[in-house]
Structure 1
């Protein structure tokens, strides 16, 4: 005989209906598909658009702050930069202040590609916000930021 505990199906339904992680993942995937489709004619994905936008700063950032902003580990960010670098949209150069570090910047071609894609993002983003009926966009953003930046607990 098995001693395996049985989880009632009602618990499965409860988790399906209430799990914040599941709902956030489903929403993120649905949004990513919409933005990927809209940005495809510009030769980029939503992730690439976000990454390139994260590089649009007065001074070229290092990998750490960009990885933190995008909630990526450094290895994943480095891999995501490779196709953009191959396309000539992003430049990865040694940090003049710390030779172990790298500075990331948009090239002129990258800025042109990002500039061409931005109106598509603006239009679709407005459509998504306008379609929200259960919550206003600012409240949703505040809640998502709160979840992604929990207060520090511990020593």
Structure 2
């Protein structure tokens, strides 16, 4: 007897989003490979270069990632000297993340690779469709769920 439930899976928002995210994430990882950065690492360095020093929690919120996963993602960047993670002078419990000159240099070197991938994606998917996709995905973040709330 087949007990599989298939109908809801076909309309599962989570599965559709994760499939697309894995597909596109692997595509960006491949495009950035020669820089020695993965797409998530590039995004972290880009946010730090644009916004300056911030706590791990603030950076995690900005990228929509839980704090523990962000801390794990920062470890290889810190080992390579691309970021520093130091206790906050104001609150010793908080950790401040900073991009180093080497991190800024690596992010700038990777930027043309990222930009080329952006262009390729928009040529295949359509610039307007890509803009609508980004807007829709941003709207998902405003649905009111609190996946990392304590």
TM-score by length of 2: 0.86
Matched, 1:45 2:63: no
Name stretches of at least 5 consecutive residues in structure 1 with no aligned partner: none
Aligned mates of 1:102, 1:96 — CA distance in 2: 9
Between 54-63 and 99-108, report the one with greater CA deviation.
54-63
Tell me which stretches of 4 or more aligned residues in structure 1 moved more than 6 Å: none
SS of the counterpart of 1:105? strand
Alignment size in residue pairs: 145
Provide the rounded CA distance (Å) in 1 between the counterparts of 2:9 and 2:145: 29
**Aligned with 1:63 (options 56, 60, 80):** 56
Q: Sort the Cα spacing of 1:58 and 1:75 in 2 relative to 1 into closer, same or farther, 3 A.
A: closer
Write the distance in 2 (CA, Å) between the matches of 1:55 and 1:74: 16
TM-score norm. by structure 1 comes to 0.83
Please, which of 5, 9, 18 is the counterpart of residue 11 of structure 2? 18
Question: Which of 110, 120, 124 matches 1:127?
Answer: 120
Structure 1 residues 119 and 103: CA distance shift in structure 2, 3 A = same
Local SS of the residue matching 1:56: helix
